[in-house]
Amino acid sequence: MKILLISDLPPCTDYSGPLLTQELCGYLPDDSIYAFIVKNRILTHIGISPELKLADKNELIKPFENSLHLKFGRNPVVNFVHQSFHKHYTIKKLFMQVNLAVKKNKIDKIWIILQGQTMINLARYIIEHSDVPLYSQVWDNPKWWLIDNKINKVSSRAILRNFDFVIKNSTACGVASENMAEEYTKKYGTKCYILIPTLDESLVTKSIRAFDEKQITIGMCGQLYAAEEWASLISALDSVNWTISEKPVTINYVGYSLANNLNPHIINHGYKTQEELFKILNDCDIQYCPYIINEKFKDVSKYSFPSKVVTYLATNRPIFYHGPSYSSPAKLVVKNNIGIICESLATADILKGLNSILSTKESYTQMQKNMQKVYANEFTSEKLKNNFLQLLDVVKKSNF
């Protein structure tokens, strides 16, 4: 069996999305995947992982998807014309290249990751003009992308209609959370499989340990989408001079988002390998996960599942989830008692939440034990592999 992967990011170890794609590709036999990468032009420096043995690949540059910023600012009319041109011309041109790859390589199934309007519009065009079954995968609700890229309202409505069409007409859909699976199955009638990144089992922390008696270290990794929540945490700690229960507080941050950090209480480690990341986070007492509380982004927060949550689970250190209670991670934290949630930007609520995690040694230990159970039951590579193979209807390698 031959599968055509279509994505705007190549499977590789850079960023959480491509890392998941690489892991999923590894579950399929060598030389069974043809990669068609319509690469985001600001990420041309990353390439397909050399570890993967692909049958073939085709790498193109993705058209601009954000709103054009002209001399006099962003013009919705110009933006509409820009989006319409790509919808009616660029997508057709891309499809012709996809169709050529399908025929040349005798593709049996198409697996497409729906990030951005180019992938969404291309997926619809494939469904309407090809007989090859399409299997879609969603990382985040598309509203996030449209808002972040300042797409005009008319084009946004059309893109969301196309998204609805694609999910409804997909043979099956890979989704990012339990919330998304339930909602999409109900709304579109499409079978959904949850695909959440996992980690090398050798990295998973097995030990139970007490929190530090002399200081408090908070861990944070990944991108800072929830800037307002992060700022409120810093403000809360500033208000108590970075001291809780007479203990000094330090934040260990790993990632790209704090290039200009000047705060002496925040240690900015920059980008690190997974092994280095775990060494840093394992020395923390609390893992911090901010997510957008603003109702404007409700669909994004409700359906997405930050990959950092899986990393935190594997470190076996309780989570301070700073986000709305209706989100999938919040439900996971509350249901399994693996930390606390705070859906407020108020200083008093944030400090109360941090103190509650460290209230007693017994409760802290119990949260760690609960984290071990949750990881073992929900986030193993074996479970991800089974879900992915079921998504593509390839339960056994003998099907290839």
Q: Give the DSSP letter string of 282-322.
A: TT-SEEEEE----GGGHHHHHH---HHHHHHHHHT--EEEE
Domain count for the chain:
2
Where b means 16+ CB within 10 Å and e means fewer, 311-323 reads bbbbbbbbbbbbb
* Domain, as residue range, for 93: 3-196+380-399
Distances in whole angstroms, Cα of residue 399 to Cα of each of 28, 37, 101:
11, 25, 21
153 token code pair: 């309202």
How far apart CA 184 and CA 120 sit, in angstroms, is: 16
Q: What is the pLDDT of residue 122?
A: 95
- Please tell me whether residues 210 and 76 are part of one structural domain: no
The span from the CA of 344 to the CA of 336, in Å, is 21
Torsions phi, psi of 233, nearest 5? -65, -45
Does residue 370 sit in the same domain as residue 385? Answer: no
Residues 206 and 250 in one domain: yes
Same domain, 211 and 342: yes
Asked if residue 226 and residue 117 are part of one domain, the reply reads no
Does pTM surpass 0.85? no
Distance of CA 113 to the CA centre of its chain: 12
Contact status, residue 176 vs residue 196, Cβ threshold 8 Å: yes
Whether residues 142 and 53 fall in one domain:
yes
- Give, as one character, the DSSP assignment of residue 396: S
Task: Compute the distance between CA of residue 51 and CA of residue 373 in angstroms, rounded to an integer.
Answer: 31
Diameter of the chain by CA atoms? Answer: 68
Residue 361 host element (H or E): helix 361-378
**Do 187 and 308 have their domain in common?**
no
Residues 24, 76 share a domain: yes
Q: Which residues of the chain have pLDDT under 70?
A: 65-88, 395-400
322 and 226 inside one domain: yes
Tokens of 149: 């890229």
One domain for residues 24 and 109: yes
Task: Give the pLDDT score at 97.
Answer: 93
Per-residue confidence (pLDDT) for residue 123, from 0 to 100: 96
Q: Which residues of 34-66 are buried (b: 16+ CB within 10 A; e: fewer)?
A: bbbbbbbeebeeeebbeebebbebeeeebbebe
According to DSSP, the residues that pair with 221 across neighbouring strands are: 254
CATH, residue 327: 3.40.50.2000
- What is the dihedral angle through the alpha carbons of 307, 309, 315, 321, rounded to the nearest 10 degrees? 150
Q: CB atoms < 10 A from the CB of 174, how many?
A: 26
Inter-CA distances, 100 with 58, 96, 104, 186, 324, Å: 11, 6, 6, 35, 45
Q: Say whether both 8 and 77 belong to one domain.
A: yes
267 and 362 together in one domain: yes
